[in-house]
Amino acid sequence: MPRSSTQYYCAATLDGFIAEADDSLDWLTGYSGSFDGPGAEPGGRQSYEAFYEGVGALVMGSTTYEWVIGELDDWVYKGKPCWVLSSRELRTPPGDDVDVRIVDADVSQLHDEMLAAAGERHLWVVGGGNVASQFADAGLLDEVIVTLVPVVLGEGKPLFDRRLPGGPMQLKGTRTFDSGMVELAYSLDGK
């Protein structure tokens, strides 16, 4: 059976923020750029759906989780187990196909269970920067896939909360989208 990997997949501004200081994503949801140069691929929903097909399980922090359940009418990750790292009690969305697990534990204690639940697919670190940093600190983050949006905020919630251990990431590939966004894929495990 192929080994699943732990991937941090997100969008970030050109200056490295994944959300504004108030956690809003207006800079992303309201973005409307374009690029018609050579090699431009369709981006947006189509690119996300292709990534999501390879996801078997998810993990996120409480701020990301509360944003998702507060902003969206329905649980968008149905049929996939989702761990929410939180020391607080949080409500879970209703539904038969909803598997949300609120846990107060170290990522290294949960990682094997998460990978087992992902099966042959990947574990998606949805966000935020603190959760991604926890996986990196524990040596459990395999890949960072970030779509750069040509927007500058000047301040906000960073892609990572702190410097990552180890040496530089290794570039695995790039994709240029017709929206003007650019996806960068990096390996942290040297593969």
Domain borders along the chain are 6-187
Do 78 and 94 form a contact (C-beta atoms < 8 A)? no
- What amino acid occupies position 145? I
What's the pLDDT at 191? 52
pLDDT at residue 1, rounded to an integer:
46
pLDDT, residue 6, reads 97
Architecture of domain 6-187: 3-Layer(aba) Sandwich (3.40)
User: Average pLDDT, whole number, for the chain?
Assistant: 93
Predicted confidence (pLDDT) at residue 72 exceeds the cutoff of 90:
no
Give bridge partners of residue 85 from the DSSP assignment.
Answer: 61, 103
pLDDT category, 2, cuts 50, 70, 90? low
What are the backbone dihedrals phi and psi of residue 174, each rounded to the nearest 5 degrees, phi first? -135, 155
16: confidence class by pLDDT, cuts 50, 70, 90: very high
Packing angle of the helix pair 107-118, 129-137 (nearest 10 deg)? 100
Phi and psi at residue 66, to the nearest 5°:
-65, -35
User: Distance from CA of residue 114 to its chain's centroid?
Assistant: 15
- Of 129, 139, 146, 133, the closest CA to residue 166 belongs to 139
* Predicted model pTM: 0.94
pLDDT at 190 over 70: no
Tell me the mean pLDDT in the region 113-132.
96
